[in-house]
Amino acid sequence: MALMEVRNLVKRFPVRGGVLNRVIGHVHAVSDVSFDVHKGETLGVVGESGCGKSTLGKMLIRLIEPTSGTIRYEGKDITTLDHVELMPFRRTMQIIFQDPYSSLNPRLTVRSLLREAIAFHRIVPRAEMDEYITNLIRKVGLRADAADKFPHEFSGGQRQRIGIARALATRPEFIVADEPVSALDVSIQAQVLNLLMDLKDEFGLTLVFISHDLKVIQHFCDRVMVMYLGRAVEMMPCLDLDEQARHPYSKALLGANPIDDPSDRRPLTILQGDVPSPFNVPKGCPFTGRCPEVIDRCREEMPPAVSHSDGHLVACWVASEGVAECQRGA
């Protein structure tokens, strides 16, 4: 069952210039993205910096307004709701931000940070609030006395745990985790990921997990959506990613991952060329200038998303022609 249905989502940021400060163009941050998020699953979103991952995540919970497209949450189109109508959904949809250093108010104690959200949404009676906050803090692996400390008194990993507690404070059903471990030391990343996995099971959460690391996605998520220059180029289950990936960009991301076996001397994949500007998106497939498998059709037409197997969609002319040839042969 789909908890969230996203259809043809677009976000363009205007660029102004000239003497009169007129709009002279647009940055195409997210372009025609469609997908479903099923209840209880963890959907990974992966891609290079600047591909539109964070913009997409913030649009899902209406922190950023989409230019066009629809977002349906439990069957309700939330893209058309005003501030008052959206308020009940604010409680059920939360976000964990990437930077634990700038996402917490330095002037508030942890207790005040959590109390603010709990009181606004009336999660528990005022008499039960301190006990509720203490339980939340313990759930994320901190001591109860952390409630009366300020953010600067914690390490990066501890701050991110506070960010997770703040997201859980309203008893949400759906959480966007926007690269929650990328700002942390490698030794701390696994602890935070394991905490998120445990909390997901305990509270029955549905997650959209944004990352640039396919190794983390493969370990943590049920399905993955690969984005390039604002477009979703591949969607597939996370089981056996190395065998399933068909889009050349997905293959390049997998090939760039460090190899666990020190005796394996395969060279890492290094993509040639630069990512095109989102201000001036090229005609056809946006990956054309860097793709090792490019054909003439790629330069002229944008490939549609084609189903390759159950739950596996790829937007690539080369991969789609290969599937068509197999079907004709069968």
- State pTM to two decimals: 0.90
Show me where the domains of the chain are located. Answer: 4-320
Per-residue pLDDT, 123: 94
Q: pLDDT of 218-253, one tens digit each? A: 888 999 999 999 999 999 998 878 888 899 999 888
From 94, 66, 49, select the one nearest 7 (Cα to Cα).
66
Average pLDDT, the chain: 89
Per-residue pLDDT, 239: 83
Element (H, E) at 191: helix 186-203
pLDDT above 70 for 327: no
CB-based burial of residue 126 (10 Å sphere; 0-12 exposed, 13-18 middle, 19+ buried)?
exposed
Q: pLDDT of 251-295, one tens digit each? A: 888 887 766 667 766 666 677 777 888 888 888 898 998 888 888
Single-letter residue type at 212: H
Please report which confidence band the pLDDT of residue 311 belongs to, taking 50, 70 and 90 as the band edges: confident
Q: pLDDT of 111-151, one tens digit each? A: 999 999 999 999 999 999 999 999 999 999 999 999 999 99
Distance CA 161, CA 166 (A): 9
Task: Report helix, strand and coil shares of the chain as percent, to nearest 5.
Answer: 35, 25, 40
267: CB partners within 8 A, 6+ apart: none
Per-residue pLDDT, 261: 67
Per-residue pLDDT, 268: 67
Distance CA 204, CA 223 (A): 17
Element (H, E) at 55: helix 53-60
Superfamily of domain 4-320: P-loop containing nucleotide triphosphate hydrolases (3.40.50.300)
Do the strands 306-309 and 231-237 form a parallel or antiparallel pair, or are they unpaired?
unpaired
pLDDT above 80 for 21: yes
pLDDT above 50 for 157: yes
Single-letter residue type at 28: H
